[in-house]
Each structure stands twice: as C-alpha cells, then as structure tokens.
Amino acid sequence: MNTDIKLKLAKRLRELRKKHGMTQEELAEAAGVDYKHIQLLEGKNPSAAKIDTIEKIAKAFKISPSQLIKF
C-alpha cells in the first residue's frame, strides 16, 4: 500500500471514529482488533491495513468496506 493511500485511510478512520464519538480503544474493541493496531493505522506514519482489518473496522462503523475506503 503506497504512502498516499495509507495517509488517506488514516484521515478517513479518524474522521469516522470522531463522527461516531468513539475513542481508539472503543473502535478497537468494536472491531475486534488490538488498540495499538488502530493507533498505527491512524498515526502520522500509518501502517498498511489488511483487507480483513478493513472489513472489521467497517463493520464496527456499520458501513461497507467500500464506504470506509472512499476518499
């Protein structure tokens, strides 16, 4: 995953998480992923997200994976 896409996904995750009034910890719990993974995905130098992680996070937001990566 190239850096531009990772940065766009990081921004999108932060926006959706804040829109839903969730902390990183709450999102991690709802998605069934480790809190530190959410931190890495939203960070200034974000890590790449695997498809299964995108699906879990989208489900936590009650949206489709395609809506999550719409940027």
Encode pLDDT of 4-45 as tens digits: 999 999 999 999 999 999 999 999 999 999 999 999 999 989
Closest listed residue to residue 13, CA positions, set 53, 57, 64: 57
Distance CA 53, CA 44 (A): 19
Rg (CA), the chain: 11
For 65, the 3-state DSSP assignment is helix
Q: Where do we find the tokens 């910890």?
A: 25
Domain boundaries, position 14 = 3-68
Q: Which two tokens stand for residue 71?
A: 């940027």
Domain count, the chain: 1
For 38-54, how does the pLDDT look when each residue is reduced to its tens digit (9 = 90+)?
999 999 899 889 999 99
